[in-house]
Amino acid sequence: MKIGLFVSVTTVLFTWYVLRTAERIKTGGGTYTVHAYMEDASGLVLDSAVSLAGVKIGRLKAIELEGNRARLTLEIRKDVELAEDAIVFKQTSSMLGSSSVSINPGSGRGALLSDGDVVRNVRQEAAISDVMVNANELAGEAATFVAELNRYLEEEGTLEALDEIVDIVRRTALSSSALIDENLLLLRATMQNAQEFTGRVNQDSVRQMMTIQEILDNTARLTARLDSLVGDNDETLTRSIQGIEETLRELRSVLASVQVTADNVAEVTTLVRDGEGTVGRLLTDDEIYNRVDRIAGKTEDFIDSTIGLGVQVGFQSDYLIQQNSARSVFDLRLTPGEKDKYYALGVTSTPVPTETERRTETVTTQSGTTTRIVEEEKVRTDDLKFSAQLARTWGPVTVRGGIIENTGGVGVDLRPIDQIAVSAEAFDFGAENGVYLRSTGTIYPFFDPESSNPLNWIFINGGVDDILGVYERDYFVGAGVRFTDQDIRGLIGFVPLN
């Protein structure tokens, strides 16, 4: 009756709360929907978060099959505006195969999307399963190669042939190294010659421009003299005209030299731009750029697909009042990128109540029969228990399930505000006297979501242990602390190295 009443009341209250707050939890205000089409929607989960710049702006409302493609329905907050060139990304969030959806809102220069519109630009990353398949194929090919190599080595004369091949490869490597060194020296000399050639061209251009300026000055002076000598005699005029003609011939020679120099510079520039010659191939080879770009892209994809779990480490210690002993709990939480679920692993050092056994003995003597009661006390030491749970969160409500202290169990956490949490756990369903129930209340006195100070994860808790008295009902109070991976990295920076 006690178990049934507890389960019934808990179920009714939980169902009433979820029905009252489900719509507010899911939407969080006014929303509108957009659609996107993908070739592969594996790894996506309904009601998972849709993020923009790492911030949740909506949820994945529906996944439907339309033709040969998956049609995604995204529910977005009304205060987030998406342009026509917006991009929907599907990316792997962890090595467990789960994926998440994120959005780039676009440039904002085009029209804005409204309720029911379709996002045309969709990007999909390679799934971790494809990476594993490729890795398996490579491993198979490597195994085949090793087997063929072993079979080849077992043949007679193979080792001698391999020695010759190794010697040839060594000599080839030495020759190649020498050839590369020579080419590098040649390239260095070529670059130096090009630099000297450019300097000479600049110097020649300056000198030629100065010569042209002198010629123009001379021409002006000769013109002035010509005006003054026109009235003198023909002989003087003839000599002046001859001087002008000679000056003009020098001017044409200088201009021709300048033209040849400019043509040479233009020819060298054209050869470099067209990729001809050693310098041109180094500067215009697109294959080098493409290789570097592919390597960088594959490296980024591998990191994004591999690293996707947040880590939290927690420790708490409770004082059991009736038993006058302490219980310690250490747990590790792994949180995927969507933040609406986590995986918990824990170790609990919990005291086991001391048992007192009574038995009645009857002793028969000559004087008669005597009955006496004998009590034996069995003292039991602390017991180490393990927990492994999977938790899923809907707004302020978190439901857990898995192994709790070496037995199967379930739990419900309610966190109406960030500073207060209430929890209930039920496990050890195979006990002789009922189910082990525990109720806990937790207060986070320094909690501040905007602060990076690890003190905001300090908490104080208390509650009732073994409510139904399966072993021994007790009350407890305690405290603990929890660190995220960011807090741990911050604390490591303050650890002295000397």
Quote the number of domains for the chain.
2
Mean pLDDT lowest for which of 82-86, 126-130, 269-273, 431-435? 126-130
The average pLDDT across 316-331 equals 90
> Could you tell me the pLDDT band of residue 490, with boundaries at 50, 70 and 90?
low
Q: Give pLDDT tens digits for 357-387.
A: 666 666 666 666 666 676 665 554 567 888 9
Report the pLDDT value the prediction gives residue 356, as an integer from 0 to 100.
56
Task: Answer whether residue 361 is part of any domain.
Answer: no
CA atoms within 13 A on the CB side of 364: 0
Residue-level pLDDT at 35: 93
Q: Is the pLDDT of residue 153 over 70?
A: no
Mean pLDDT for the chain overall: 78
Q: 477 pLDDT band (50/70/90 cuts)? A: very high
Residues in a beta bridge with 102: 51, 89
CATH of the domain at 316: 2.40.128
Q: Domain of 334? A: 309-354+382-492
Decide: 481 and 317 in contact? Cβ < 8 Å.
no
Span 224-252, average pLDDT = 67
pLDDT of 497 strictly over 50: no
Does a structural domain hold residue 113?
A: yes
In our burial notation (b when 16+ CB lie closer than 10 A, e otherwise), range 195-227 reads eeeeeeeeeeeeeeeebeeebeeeeeebeeeee
Choose the final residue of a domain: 127, 147, 162.
127
Q: Does residue 292 carry a pLDDT above 50?
A: no
- Which residues are within 8 A (CB) of 307 and not within 5 positions of it... i.e. 6 or more apart? none
Is residue 17 one of the residues assigned to a domain?
Answer: no
What pLDDT is stored for residue 25 in this prediction?
Answer: 45
Neighbours of 146 (CB within 10 A): 10
60, 82, 85, 115, 230 from 34: Cα distances, Å = 10, 10, 13, 6, 93
Which of 71, 102, 127 marks a domain boundary? 127
pLDDT beyond 60 at 48:
yes
- pLDDT tens-digit series, residues 450-464: 666 667 778 999 999
Other CB atoms closer than 10 Å to residue 420's CB: what's the count? 13
Choosing from 85, 111, 127, the residue where a domain stops is 127
Does residue 227 lie in a domain region? no
